[in-house]
Amino acid sequence: MLRRRLNRLFGGDEKRVDSRTIYVGNRPCPATETFIPPKFCDNRIVSSKYTIWNFLPKNLFEQFRRIANFYFLIIFLVQVIVDTPTSPVTSGLPLFFVITVTAIKQGYEDWLRHKADSEVNKYPVRVLEDGQPARKDSEKIKVGDIVEVVEDETFPCDLILLQSSRDDDTCFVTTASLDGESNHKTHYTVPDMEKDLQSLSATIECEQPQPDLYKFVGRMHIYKPEHDPAVRSLGPENLLLKGATLKNTKKIYGVAVYTGMETKMALNYQGKSQKRSAVEKSINAFLLVYLCILISKAVVCTTLKYVWQSQDGQDEPWYNQKTEKEKGTILYVKMFTDFLSFMVLFNFIIPVSMYVTVEMQKFLGSFFITWDRDFFDPEIEEGALVNTSDLNEELGQVEYVFTDKTGTLTQNNMEFIECCIDGFQYTAFSSELDSFCVTDGPVSTFQEKAGREKEELFLRALCLCHTVQVKEAGPDELGGDQVDGPASEPLRPAEQRGFIASSPDEVALVKGAMRYGFTFLGLESKTMKIKNWQNDVEEYELLHVLNFDPVRRRMSVIVRSKSGDTLLFCKGADSSIFPRVRPEEVERIRMHVQRSATEGYRTLCVAYKRLSVDEYAAADAGLREARLALQDREEKLMAVYNQVETAMSLIGATAVEDRLQEEAAQTMEALQGAGMKVWVLTGDKMETAKSTCYACRLFRRSTELLELTVRTLESGGRRREEMLHDLLFDFHRKAVQDAPPARAGVNRSWSSANPEYGFIVDGAALALVMNPSPDTNCSRYRSLFLQICQNCTAVLCCRMAPLQKAQIVKMVKNSKGSPITLSIGDGANDVSMILEAHVGIGVKGKEGRQAVRNSDYAIPKLKHLRKLLLAHGHLYYIRIAHLVQYFFYKNLCFILPQFLYQFFCGCSQQPLYDAAYLTMYNICFTSMPILAYSLLEQQIAIEVLLDNATLYRDIAKNAMLRWGPFLYWTVLAVFQGLIFFFGVKYLFSNPALQDNGQVFGNWSYGTIVFTVLVFTVTLKLALDTRHWTWINHFVIWGSLAFYVVFSFFWGGIIWPFLKQQRLYFVFFNMLSSVSAWLVIILLIVLSLLPDILLGVLRKPRGPHTQQMRRCLPSSGTSTIFVLSQTTSTHSFSWSD
Amino acid sequence: MMASSYNIKEEDGHHSGSSGPGGNAVRTKKPDNTAFKQQRLPAWQPIITAGTVLPAFFIIGLIFIPIGIGLYVTSNNIKEFEIDYTGIDISSPCFNCSQSYSWNTTTSCTCSIPFSLDQPFESNVFMYYGLSNFYQNHRRYVKSRDDSQLNGNLDSLKAPSKECEPYRINENMPIAPCGAIANSMFNDTLDLFYIDPNGTRTPIPLMKTGIAWWTDKHVKFRNPGGSSSNLTAVFYGTTKPLSWPKPVYELDTDPENNGFVNEDLIVWMRTAALPTFRKLYRIIQKKNSLTPTLPRGNYTLDIVYNYPVRSFDGRKRMILSTISWMGGKNPFLGIAYISVGSVCFFLGVVLLFIHHKYGNRNNSSDIPN
């Protein structure tokens, strides 16, 4: 909480000019006269909530903040203070039990967090001390320390890069765990840095910590004894963020600027707030109802008591005098204590034990997730992990799924799938044939389709047009991959090391070319080497690289071959290439591009151009000039690029697959079939994200995309705000106003008649919507935006900063109807949204453990989400909903007879049941069956749940805990309570129930009622149980047997510690009476009748429906069917 | 009652378990493949459908209705005779006695009420006294006793529990038995006389024992200092309850029925469930099989009227009743059984009708798999 507030403070308050000064190496600098060692926080990461010292008070405080616990505490205190019919033990013991169990559970969970924290905090790092690296724990790093980091290590705090082992003063970094981008990024050392860090005397002045990952402003003052202090400006390219990983660089040195909770990563965390499930909210609502019932009962009884007492001779008949003390108390005090006594007498209606049982159910129930073998991933040798068991049932209530892309939906593993040369299709791997695919057989046998020359040209283009670097590795490894099968190829780490590029699909293309026989050997001093089919090495001189940027969406290289030809190769998105090539070439290839885009592949078109000497000279001059320009360098470069990249000829197109996670598409489809809306929130580029969405079938061919991105905002040539306004209203009209009212429960694959909308928004546009300039009406935009989003089948948000992800989640979470949200992600950049959503799921991916640690549940793969939600979530919800309803029910019909009894005992708070029964009812006699039920019940088998995603909709919107079902249970409880009480009352109109004429007293009365109650309530549960395992049998029949045995035992002995032997042989005598037997049987049958009757009249559930539903095509097959039938030629790919 | 499919899911736990020795335990982290952990325990899955519940309804109906008829007939065969002798009415013989309000009058008042039995009472006849509007189940009253004193504990005898207040100590002497219940023990004496047709009064022998639960008499209630010793000495140092005319050790001459083990006391100490109740007073044992226990004819009930009930608007009754296997006369059970049985039967018929008419498609699904 505090941290979040801090975030807001830092994020929102740009005017804060406060900066911090860091003394590099913590050495005083000559320029500053006084060296005040600045105070910064240490490098400890704290995600835990308690310490040993504050655990007890803090935990107790938090627990008693719960209304229920507080209520029980009050009841307990009342019992201690006031003379009440039941002893304080009856409520104190269960309360103590609850508090202890909860405290132990929370303590254990916090201990786990402590362990995880210390794993990070105690991670060994090397800090330069007196020129020598000294080993230290990560938490000991102070601001100003110089830290050494070696390859593949993560940075322990935010560092300014001082020195790199690479010659070019750069280092490579992946920030996969921060923003999800797994490509290598180049960071630069501070310019003109000395080699000797020991003698370096410098200070760094930089801004105070702020959460934006891409912003950093600072200055470095370097002091040299004989020179004036030199000043270097520092930017984000010098800053290495905690959580990022050093790649392809042996060793770097950096000075710590932000540590611990002040690092950008930590600032992007959100404080852990306790998540409460919707079920708990329902419980609280029901609790209020019961509290009202309780209070009104107490009020009624108190009133009646005084009405009754006012009658002549009733208050104090001669046989029943009051004590002196009672006579002495003032009337109003007496009334109040009477009221409290009634409260205590009826307080069992709000069951303490329900909380125990719910806690136990959640705690034990979560083990089933951990134990599930389907969640076990052989690759990482791990199964699912449950961090918070409080939210099990929430898994069955999810309405919105927010998923990260990189590492969650995709494996972030690019693979070359196919290419198209001059209109002919070549598939890299001879799987999945369809009518378009002409190539067959092994990869290396190129069928002569396009001209051989064209093929070679295409492959050369692939080999040359990139910025890939070859990692120094044995040539065997490089050549080895032709032998391997394609499936195992991406997994080999040796292969991964082969090429390094800023974007994984470049690697894929180079590898693809290699597969066809053109191997890129490397770039040596401006010379690119290629091994061609004839195993000859071709050399090209690299003249210029026209870099990729997201606006142009293409890149080019200009090379000169040995023969002296100057060639320009260009590759890029079809939309940016097609206008720049000869139109007659386009048509042949466009079809392929569209088709492969439909498949979810990332398509690139490849074009080339032969530059004449003059042309090259002009281009060369232009480029050089633009590069040197001091002002508007970007624009000028762009202009030259555009000028050069014209009139090219199209060679072909490639299709690269960003390999989806296993069963990603099926999982998404299942989730949508279950009525969930899936939003993709990613930090990645829009194109990439879009193609992933297509691949996951979140977008279909028929989906009309509404784009709200920087590009669309700027395309109109107007102000962004105006454009935003127009677009929002336009989209709103389309998606919300024109759309027919949504039909719930219709599988989207069948309702293809309505247009489907997909919404794409990027971070910048979102920022405009969320925080527009003050003159616009921001709340309007927000609600418009939200409405559009809610009416789209899928929403894609790209270029999101971690906090923006959380913002989106929060917006949806707080929207109307407060839908249950779920976030799933694998990287540290997903942590904030994982924490924000109702349920946070971490994928145990390759990007570190941050997400897993902060999640509520962690699963090894995305595909496991399906079972987690559809099967586990569904079952847990049913179980806990039934548990809650049952608990309220059984306590209402437990207490109602006691209430009714007050009318017949002068409203004197005389308990109907013995104290032992009052205490044991919830703890022993009726708690185990419902616990077993709530752990084992499977009204619908797991397989069926998995097969029919639509079943998930049956329990959507908290269906089993709404007022309707609650009313049913309450009415049932009242009905049964009335039957119990009055049935026995009529029997007792003649209390001579034994064949020896002896009579029964009030405790026999209570015992008969109680026996009926225990049996009815247990048998009612037995009727509801649809899944009888041996445990259910054992527990249900066992607790009934236990009741009987206990009653014998309890009544069979004169207990020395009891003041009154109320139940002595009462149970035994009851059983010796035939009438008592008969009335017990009669009342049980009568009480269960309505339930049985309703069970008959209700639509059959369970296996029957399963069979019926099995006849329908399952949603999975149907959509596949629809997909293969799509013939629409609607254009959508990559174009804007 | 329910259609059920016994569904043993494939339990591959056994397979891997049997092949366990072959594959070495490398994969320690992989969750165990036990049926329990994988939620694949074999389970019986009953389903409530019309087809399964229908027979149940008929069976319940068919069982309950005969039971109900049996109960009803039994209850009707029980002979019961009841006299209200409170004496509210001026015409009542006990009117005068009832006018003496307070419980601490020294003089006892007697009255006798004549009545006649139209039918002879066969077998043992049980004589009850009944009180109305007497709240024996009032909380203050119910807890006002000391079971440990009644159980013969000498410490409790001298220092009764606080629960007995304000009937704990009188004139610095502990009350034995203490508490409101014991203090208000029913102390009317009821005697029954048979009036021969020739006018002679024959006292009917009333048995004082066998009216309390056996366990109460022999375990729960015990005289302090064992049964053999002199009760007067044992109770020395205690005082009688305020409203009692005699101390507890003079309740009866029979040492087996005196002191705390006096059955009248024990019966009274078992507090009644409802404000209108009856308690067993005496048993009239059947003499022989030839003559009825109470033949048809005229009787007189002689009452030593001590127990005041008018202050709280109470009633006193004397009840003579025979007993069957189901206890005393109570038509409720029989009627309830008959009606529940009929309702079940009726529902069965209705369901059968519905089921037959609309539920044919369900038939196929009644046969699981």
With cut-offs at 50, 70 and 90, classify the pLDDT of residue B91.
confident
Burial class (CB in 10 A: 0-12, 13-18, 19+), A386: buried
User: Which tokens sit at B70?
Assistant: 């049996």
Task: Please state the length of chain A.
Answer: 1136
User: Which tokens sit at A1083?
Assistant: 């009342």
Spatial distance between the Cα atoms of A893 and A907, rounded to a whole number of angstroms: 19
Check pLDDT > 90 for residue A1028. Answer: yes
| Distance (Å) from the alpha carbon of B304 to chain A's nearest alpha carbon | 19
Q: Which residue has the higher pLDDT, A511 or B24?
A: A511
- Phi and psi at A19, nearest 5°, equal -130, 165
Per-residue pLDDT of B276-294, as tens digits, reads 999 999 999 988 877 888 8
Predicted local confidence at residue A987, as pLDDT: 93
Predicted local confidence at residue B283, as pLDDT: 93
Rg of the Cα trace of chain B?
Answer: 32
Predicted local confidence at residue A270, as pLDDT: 54
A177 in Cβ contact with A245 (< 8 Å): yes
Q: Which of A402-406, A823-827, B201-205 has the highest mean pLDDT?
A: B201-205
Spatial distance between the Cα atoms of A452 and A421, rounded to a whole number of angstroms: 10
Contact B135 A1102 (CB under 8 A): no
Q: What is the mean pLDDT of residues A934-947?
A: 90
A840 in Cβ contact with A854 (< 8 Å): yes
Spatial distance between the Cα atoms of A730 and A223, rounded to a whole number of angstroms: 59
Q: What is the DSSP string of A278-341?
A: HHHHHHHHHHHHHHHHHHHHHHHHHHHHHHHHHSTTTSS-TTSPPPHHHHHS-HHHHHHHHHHH
The answer to whether B144 faces chain A, any CB pair under 8 Å, is yes
Contact A371 B37 (CB under 8 A): yes
Chain A residues touching B43 at Cβ < 8 A: 938, 1027-1029, 1032
Predicted local confidence at residue A934, as pLDDT: 92
**Residue A558 pairs with which residues in a beta bridge?**
A544, A568
A865 in Cβ contact with A668 (< 8 Å): no
Q: Which of A404, A658, A684, A830 is catalytic?
A: A404
Q: Which residue has the higher pLDDT, A355 or A319?
A: A319
Which of B27, B216, B327 is nearest residue A995 as measured by Cβ atoms?
B327
Q: Which residue has the higher pLDDT, A821 or B24?
A: A821
The answer to whether B349 faces chain A, any CB pair under 8 Å, is no
With cut-offs at 50, 70 and 90, classify the pLDDT of residue A183.
low
Spatial distance between the Cα atoms of A623 and A644, rounded to a whole number of angstroms: 9
The DSSP code for A842 is E
Q: What is the mean pLDDT of residues A192-210?
A: 77
Q: Which residues of A934-955 are buried (b: 16+ CB within 10 A; e: fewer)?
A: bbbbbbbbbebbbbbbbbbbbb
A91 in Cβ contact with A353 (< 8 Å): no
DSSP collapsed to 3 states, A146-191: EEEEECCCECCCEEEEEEECCCCCEEEEECHHHHCCCCEEEEECCC
Percent of chain A having pLDDT more than 90? 16
With cut-offs at 50, 70 and 90, classify the pLDDT of residue A1125.
very low
Asked if omega into B166 is within 30° of 0 (cis), the reply is yes
In one letter, which amino acid is A266? A
Check pLDDT > 50 for residue A484. Answer: no
Q: What is the mean pLDDT of residues A543-567?
A: 81
Predicted local confidence at residue B211, as pLDDT: 92
Spatial distance between the Cα atoms of A425 and A436, rounded to a whole number of angstroms: 7
The DSSP code for A1113 is P
Predicted local confidence at residue A330, as pLDDT: 86
Q: Which residue has the higher pLDDT, A268 or A330?
A: A330
Predicted local confidence at residue A1087, as pLDDT: 94
Per-residue pLDDT of A711-729, as tens digits, reads 777 766 667 777 777 788 8
Contact A373 B43 (CB under 8 A): no
Contact A906 B278 (CB under 8 A): no
Nearest alpha-carbon partner for A509 in B240, A138, A518: A518
Mean pLDDT of chain A: 79
Predicted local confidence at residue A898, as pLDDT: 93
Chain B residues touching A1095 at Cβ < 8 A: 48, 53
| Distance (Å) from the alpha carbon of B327 to chain A's nearest alpha carbon | 4
Per-residue pLDDT of A114-133, as tens digits, reads 888 888 888 888 888 777 77
Nearest alpha-carbon partner for A375 in A865, A869, A943: A865
Check pLDDT > 60 for residue A1131. Answer: no
The DSSP code for A921 is I
Q: What is the DSSP string of A202-217?
A: EEEEEEPP-S-TT---
Find, in chain A, the residue whose alpha carbon is nearest to that of B26: A381
Spatial CB neighbours of B227, under 8 Å, sequence gap ≥ 6: B255, B256, B261
User: Which tokens sit at B7?
Assistant: 């569904």
User: Which tokens sit at A450?
Assistant: 């396009």
Predicted local confidence at residue A1, as pLDDT: 43
Secondary element (H or E) of residue B75 = helix B50-77
CA distances A128 to A133, A253, A262, Å, are 4, 9, 22
Predicted local confidence at residue A1001, as pLDDT: 92
Contact B270 A1001 (CB under 8 A): yes
Reported as half-sphere exposure (CB side, CA atoms, 13 A), residue A825 has a value of 38
Is A434 in the active site? no
Q: What is the mean pLDDT of residues A1049-1069?
A: 89
Spatial distance between the Cα atoms of A850 and A827, rounded to a whole number of angstroms: 6
Per-residue pLDDT of A856-869, as tens digits, reads 898 888 889 999 99
Percentages helix, strand, coil for chain A (3-state, rounded to 5) are 50, 15, 35
Q: Which residue has the higher pLDDT, A117 or B71?
A: B71
| Distance (Å) from the alpha carbon of A943 to chain B's nearest alpha carbon | 11
Spatial distance between the Cα atoms of B245 and B231, rounded to a whole number of angstroms: 17
Chain A residues touching B78 at Cβ < 8 A: none
Q: What is the mean pLDDT of residues A519-523?
A: 80
Q: What is the mean pLDDT of residues A982-998?
A: 92
The answer to whether A628 faces chain B, any CB pair under 8 Å, is no
Which of A322, A1069, A1074 is nearest residue B326 as measured by Cβ atoms?
A1074
List helix spans (H) across B235-330: 263-269
Predicted local confidence at residue A972, as pLDDT: 95
| Distance (Å) from the alpha carbon of A278 to chain B's nearest alpha carbon | 25
Check pLDDT > 90 for residue A162. Answer: no
The answer to whether B30 faces chain A, any CB pair under 8 Å, is yes
User: Which tokens sit at A444?
Assistant: 């290396």
Interface confidence, given as ipTM, is 0.91
A-B CB pairs within 8 A amount to 283
Q: Which of A338-342, A629-633, A706-710, A971-975 has the highest mean pLDDT?
A: A971-975
User: Which tokens sit at A44?
Assistant: 């400890």
Spatial CB neighbours of B330, under 8 Å, sequence gap ≥ 6: A986, A987, A989, A990, A1075, B75
Predicted local confidence at residue A1106, as pLDDT: 42
Q: Which residue has the higher pLDDT, A1024 or A793?
A: A1024
| Distance (Å) from the alpha carbon of A750 to chain B's nearest alpha carbon | 27
Secondary element (H or E) of residue A836 = helix A831-836
**Domain residue ranges of chain B, discontinuous segments joined by +:** 1-32, 50-78+325-357, 79-322
The answer to whether B344 faces chain A, any CB pair under 8 Å, is yes
The answer to whether A329 faces chain B, any CB pair under 8 Å, is no
Find, in chain A, the residue whose alpha carbon is nearest to that of B366: A1104
- Note which residues in 1087-1126 of chain A have CB less than 8 A from chain B: 1089, 1092-1093, 1095-1096, 1100, 1102-1104, 1107-1108
Chain A residues touching B361 at Cβ < 8 A: none
Which of A320, A372, A986 is nearest residue B38 as measured by Cβ atoms?
A372
Check pLDDT > 60 for residue B189. Answer: yes
Check pLDDT > 60 for residue B243. Answer: yes
Contact A991 B43 (CB under 8 A): no
Spatial distance between the Cα atoms of A1007 and A1013, rounded to a whole number of angstroms: 9
Mean pLDDT of chain B: 83
Per-residue pLDDT of B223-238, as tens digits, reads 888 766 688 888 888 9
Check pLDDT > 90 for residue A1039. Answer: yes
Predicted local confidence at residue B106, as pLDDT: 61
CA distances A1026 to A938, A972, A1023, B369, Å, are 7, 20, 8, 16
Which of B147, B324, B326 is nearest residue A1060 as measured by Cβ atoms?
B147
Q: What is the mean pLDDT of residues A276-305?
A: 88
A253 in Cβ contact with A128 (< 8 Å): yes
Contact A318 B184 (CB under 8 A): yes
Predicted local confidence at residue A1086, as pLDDT: 94
Nearest alpha-carbon partner for A69 in A31, A28, A98, A112: A98
User: Which tokens sit at A643?
Assistant: 């000028």
In one letter, which amino acid is A272? K
Check pLDDT > 90 for residue A1022. Answer: yes
Per-residue pLDDT of A742-778, as tens digits, reads 444 444 444 444 677 888 888 878 887 877 666 556 6
